[in-house]
Amino acid sequence: MKRISLSILSLALTLLTMTSCTKSVTRVSPDQTIDLSGRWNDTDSRLVAEEMTMDALGSAWLNRFYQAKNKAPVMIVGVITNRSSEHIEAETFIKDIEREFIKSSQIRIVQNAVLREKIREERADQQNFSSLDTQKKWGLELGADYMMFGTINSITDMEGRKKVIFYQINLELTDIQTNEIVWIGDKKIKKYIVN
């Protein structure tokens, strides 16, 4: 009898634990804005990339390049440093920027230095193991005309249960031949959070 009572109690506790720890997951559109914590998120990354690339594409440097060279400029999106107080994966922001430039069809994007080395390793490997008609040749890479650099900064102000997070994203575009900065853009985001 005592054994049956303990088994029933154990079963009841297990069922109670299982029902109280259920999790609900709902799939949503990647374009849907959901801001749970108030910190930098995918929506911020996408919107800032869209706005800043539109600003860069609407600036005078691009028209000057087209008039002088009669072709689309080649760009590397280089290092964008996270100087904020949060962990922000800058790579997703860099990919958002690259995608926006490519979608515009006004800029040609080439790989950054790290990925170029991987591609060169593959090209070297092809020289030894691929058929002659499928080997990729050396010396045909696109040389970049411009390189983009930037920073993501934040300032947090808190009082009690209230918090304001201010983000400033700064990007600049430099002519690789001359080191001339041809465009500087910034975007500011301010979030008010009450816990």
Residue 154's φ and ψ, nearest 5 degrees, are -145, 155
| pLDDT score recorded for residue 33 | 79
| pLDDT score recorded for residue 125 | 94
**Segments in the chain forming alpha helices (H):** 2-20, 42-57, 60-69, 90-104, 113-129
Low-confidence ranges of the chain (pLDDT < 50): none
* pLDDT one-digit tens code per residue, 104-130: 999 999 999 889 999 999 999 999 999
For residues 102 and 57, what is the distance between their CA atoms, to the nearest angstrom?
A: 11
The 108-109 sheet, strands edge to edge: 108-109, 74-82, 146-159, 162-175, 181-194
Q: Which amino acid makes up residue 174?
A: T
| pLDDT score recorded for residue 179 | 97
For residues 109 and 77, what is the distance between their CA atoms, to the nearest angstrom?
A: 8
User: What CATH fold (topology level) applies to the domain 37-112+142-194?
Assistant: Rossmann fold (3.40.50)
pTM: 0.80
